[in-house]
């Protein structure tokens, strides 16, 4: 039960981060680039994890190929390759907010 709540909270948080980034960019807010990078870092990893867990759930009940879940996973992984992983975006975020990097 708690695991399902965490998943829902993760998806809701990703949606909130994406909506906030879109709103700041649309308004021309100077924090728009930071908000977009935060959303990219959060959503990139979550999309892959959600698709992997969905495939595992459906495989457990024998319905993996009867649903296009495998296409969602392929799309999430392709987007991660094309647009960057969560780690890439977190590194970019550290530069944007001027955090000192590893020495």
Supply the pLDDT for residue 20. 95
> What 8-state DSSP symbol labels residue 1?
-
Supply the pLDDT for residue 5. 66
Contacts of 4 (CB under 8 A, 6+ apart): none
Q: 17 near 58, Cβ under 8 Å?
A: no
Supply the pLDDT for residue 11. 84
Q: Where are the domains of the chain?
A: 2-96
- Give the pLDDT of the chain (103 residues) as one tens digit per residue: 566 666 678 888 999 999 999 999 999 999 999 999 999 999 988 989 888 888 887 776 666 567 788 888 899 999 988 998 888 889 999 988 888 766 5
- Of 52, 42, 40, residue with least CA distance to 77: 52
Class of domain 2-96: mainly alpha
Please spell the DSSP secondary structure of 42-69, one letter per residue. Answer: HHHHHHHHHHHHHHHHHHHTT-GGGSTH
Specify the pTM. 0.75
């Amino acid at each position: 039960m708690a695991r399902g709540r965490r998943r829902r909270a993760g998806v809701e948080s990703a949606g909130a981060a994406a909506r906030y980034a879109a709103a700041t960019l649309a308004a021309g807010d100077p924090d728009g680039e930071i908000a977009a990078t935060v959303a990219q870092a959060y959503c990139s990893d979550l999309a892959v994890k959600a698709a992997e867990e969905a495939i595992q759930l459906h495989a457990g009940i024998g319905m993996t190929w009867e649903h296009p879940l495998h296409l969602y996973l392929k799309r999430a992984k392709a987007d991660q390759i094309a647009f960057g992983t969560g780690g890439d975006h977190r590194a970019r975020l550290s530069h944007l907010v001027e955090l000192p990097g590893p020495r």
